[in-house]
Amino acid sequence: MDRNELKSILREENSSALRALPNGFYRLVDEYIHELEEEIRKISNPRSAESKILEDELQSAINDVETIFIRRVRKVTSRATSNAFSSSSPRQDLDKLLPAEQAVYEATLSAIQVARSQMLEPILDPASSASPENDRKGVKQEVNPQKVTGGPTATGPAQEVSASTIITDDENRDETEIAKRNINEEYFVVRILKDLPTFNAVDKRNYTTHAEDVVVLPAMNANVLVKRGAAHLITK
């Protein structure tokens, strides 16, 4: 990485298009900045013209990489916002994202989906389980993520996988049956295709998943991950 390459990337980020960055972009910029700092330290006269030139280049590099970061985060969050309200959920140019940027995209998308489920959907669909009316009916259920050990599955030999179980009042069999029906209707079993950052699902639980994990997720979050190519739905 050098000054010319960094300036070229900065100019490209002026447009709304999302372009692929060089592999290890931020690491390369960090190395470039450290090299400049080392060169400055070696100059005996800090007031010399050479020192001044290097100081200007150092400050320019710091400003440029910060501007690139801000512009790309804006593009990433803009696409997440747009796709959160799109029925077709186009991937656009998301393949251009760095892994850390992909994590920002997924986290933003998930947060918007959670907010929509908690604030908007109870108004648009009063019959939904998330609506205040249904909450007043006294249907109690609590979803706790935990680790369980299963036998051989379609994903491979016996393994430890993440799952969710319904905790109900054992003294009330009717309530237990309602909870069981709800978990079948509102949760999907999926196989995770890549490591994902911890996210807060619509059931208000935090989930941390990794590639090849088999997990039980709320239907909305499961559908989002499947649409994004981050998970595969496991059907009966």
Of 6-10, 96-100, 177-181, 187-191, the least confident = 177-181
The pair of structure tokens assigned to 196 is: 């994902």
The CATH number given to 132-233 is 3.40.5.50
Residues 28-41: pLDDT tens digits? 999 999 999 999 99
Instruction: Indicate the DSSP class of residue 85.
Output: T
Question: Residue 156 CA to chain centroid, in angstroms?
Answer: 26
Q: What is the mean pLDDT of residues 210-219?
A: 86
DSSP 8-state class, residue 144: E
pLDDT-based confidence at residue 72 (cuts at 50, 70, 90): very high
What local confidence, expressed as pLDDT, does residue 197 receive? 84
Position 5 scores a pLDDT of: 95
Residue 172 is predicted with a pLDDT of 44
Mean pLDDT throughout 213-228?
Answer: 86
pTM: 0.54
* CA pair distance 143, 211, nearest whole angstrom: 22
| Structure confidence by residue, pLDDT tens digits, 149-178 | 333 333 333 333 343 333 334 444 444 443
- Residue 128: pLDDT band (50, 70, 90) is low
Residue 160: half-sphere exposure toward Cβ, Cα within 13 Å:
5
